[in-house]
Structures are given as C-alpha cells and as structure tokens.
A and B are shown apart, each in its own frame.
Chain A
C-alpha cells in the first residue's frame, strides 16, 4: 500500500484552501490515501455555517489576485469545499480536526461541516501519517 500524503492545513483563506483541495484531489485520483489535519484558521473555515462564505485571500494576492481568482470562479471553477467533496467520493481522504484548535476556537464537532470525519490530537495524526510526505499549508 502507498504511503499517505499528509496535508496540514493552517491558513483559512480561500486561495490556500483551494491549493490544498487541489493537492488532495489529485492524490486521491491517483489512489493515494490522503490525511488532512485542520488547525487554526483552516479549521475555522470548516464550520458548517461558514464553509460557503468568502474567506478572503492570502495577503500577497492583492487586488490583481482577487480579480484573477474571481474570474476563475466565474468561469465555473469548483470551490475548495466542492473539490474536496468530489474528491472524497473517490475514497481515501480522511479529514481530521486538531483537538487543540477545537479548544482554542471553542468549536464542537457538531459545528463542523460533514466533510470533517473526526477530531484527533497530533499524536494520532503522526501515527496515521506514517512515512508519508507532510505538507503544511
């Protein structure tokens, strides 16, 4: 069995989450297991009542970046949440919330979008990560 690809999502802006969703979906399409660990502002973006809202862009995007992202979206690009939903249908993607971040942001599991499979600590995350590559976004 392939070693998993492990994505640690920290940032909660739409562009970084989109980049992460693309990496996850590509790996899933190749049949690789993908572990996603949600920390801080990325976790906040996965709240059920916030997942569809505008989460802004990374500071380096600027006005021209905003325009480019909007144009791609208007051309029909799937949102990061939709990209993850479709990729999850392929199987192999497991999304876990960081328990420390859950405490920090005062989030209960019921507050999270169904994309999130569960809550775990960093030790469980490393155990599941095995020898696979780890990407921090």
Chain B
C-alpha cells in the first residue's frame, strides 16, 4: 500500500480561536479527496476543536501530538 505524503502544512502557531480551524478549512477546500494535511497550532482549544471539526465535517484526524506548547494534527480530507 502506498504511503500518502503530507502535501500541505498549515502553520497556525500564534493564532487564536477560531483562526486555526478557519485556515485549515480554507486549505482543505482546494485539496483532492484523500489528501493529507498537517496543522501546527498553539491555541489550547485546538485539541478539542480539531476533534470536533473532523467529526462534524467527515475529515479524518489521522494523528495528533504535542511538542511543548505546539500541537500537531494530521488530517485526511474526506
């Protein structure tokens, strides 16, 4: 099985709610179905927000991690 590469990174570090989600929604719009997108955010609400956004929009939250104050999400577009 081919491993999909992350094609787009959204750097939302330093942005407050809801801009990390808005920037991600904007970026996802132009991508093909199945594309992998990486998001970096420092908004403490983003952990729950990205989980909720993915659940609601049908995009898949593939990975989630934290490095210090920076949260990283990998999302596969529906």
Interface residues of A, Cβ cutoff 8 Å to B: 22, 25-26, 28-31, 72, 75-78, 83, 86-87, 89-90
**Contacting pair B57 A25 (CB below 8 A):** no
Distance from A76 Cβ to chain B, minimum over Cβ atoms (Å):
5
**Contacting pair A89 B26 (CB below 8 A):** yes
Provide the B16-56 mask, 1 if CB < 8 A to any CB of A, else 0: 11110111111001000000000000000000000001001
A contacts with B: majority SS? helix
Residues of A within 8 A of B26 (CB): 86, 89-90
**Contacting pair B14 A29 (CB below 8 A):** no
**Contacting pair A29 B17 (CB below 8 A):** no
**Contacting pair A86 B14 (CB below 8 A):** no
Top 8 nearest A-B pairs (CB, nearest first) are A29-B25, A26-B18, A29-B21, A25-B18, A77-B16, A25-B22, A30-B56, A76-B14
